[in-house]
Amino acid sequence: MMRARVNMPDLAFAAFLVAIGALALALAGELTVGSAAAMGPGYVPRGLALIIIVYGLVLGSRAAFAGWQVFPDIAWRPLLLLSVAIALFAILLPTVGLALTSFTVVVCAGFAAYDVRLHENAFLGAALAAFAAVLFVSVLGLPIAIWPW
Partner 1 sequence: MDLFANLATGFAVALTPTNLGFCFLGALIGTLVGVLPGIAPITTIAILLPFTFSLPPASSLIMLAGIFYGAQYGGSTTAILVNVPGESSSIVTCLDGHQMAKQGRAGPALAIAAIASFVAGTIATVVIATASVPMSWLALKFNATEYFSLMVLGLTGAVVLAHGAPEKAVAMVLVGLLLGLVGIDVNTGAPRMTMDIADLGDGIGFVPIAIGLFGIAELAVTLGKPQDRSLLSFKLRNLWPSWAEIRQCIPAILRGTTIGSVLGVLPGGGAALSSFAAYGVEKKSARNPERFGRGAIEGVAAPEAANNAGAQTSFIPLLTLGIPGNAIMALMVGAMMIQGIQPGPQVMTTQPQLFWGVVASMWLGNLMLIVLNLPLIGLWVSLLRVPYRLMFPAIVLFCCIGTYSTGNTVFDVWVMLLFGMLGAFFYKVGAEPAPFMLGFVLGPLMEENFRRAMYLSRGDPIVFVERPISAVLLALALALLVILILPTIRAKREEVFRE
CB of 130 to partner 1, least distance (A): 12
CA dihedral sign of residues 132, 135, 137, 142: negative
| One of 61, 142, 147, 148 touching partner 1 (CB under 8 A) | 142
| One of 17, 60, 97, 99 touching partner 1 (CB under 8 A) | 17
Are 129 and 115 contacting, i.e. CB atoms less than 8 angstroms apart? Answer: no
Using CB under 8 A as the binding rule, whether residue 39 contacts partner 1 is answered as yes
Site pattern 67..96 for partner 1 (x: CB under 8 A): ----xx-xx-xxx--xx-xxx-xxx-xx--
Beta bridge partners of 39: 34
Distances (CA, A) of 89 to 22, 94, 148: 31, 9, 14
CB of 99 to partner 1, least distance (A): 12
Are 25 and 54 contacting, i.e. CB atoms less than 8 angstroms apart? Answer: no
CB of 2 to partner 1, least distance (A): 21
| One of 43, 57, 122, 126 touching partner 1 (CB under 8 A) | 43
Determine which helix (DSSP H) or strand (DSSP E) holds 99, and give its type and residue range. helix 76-110
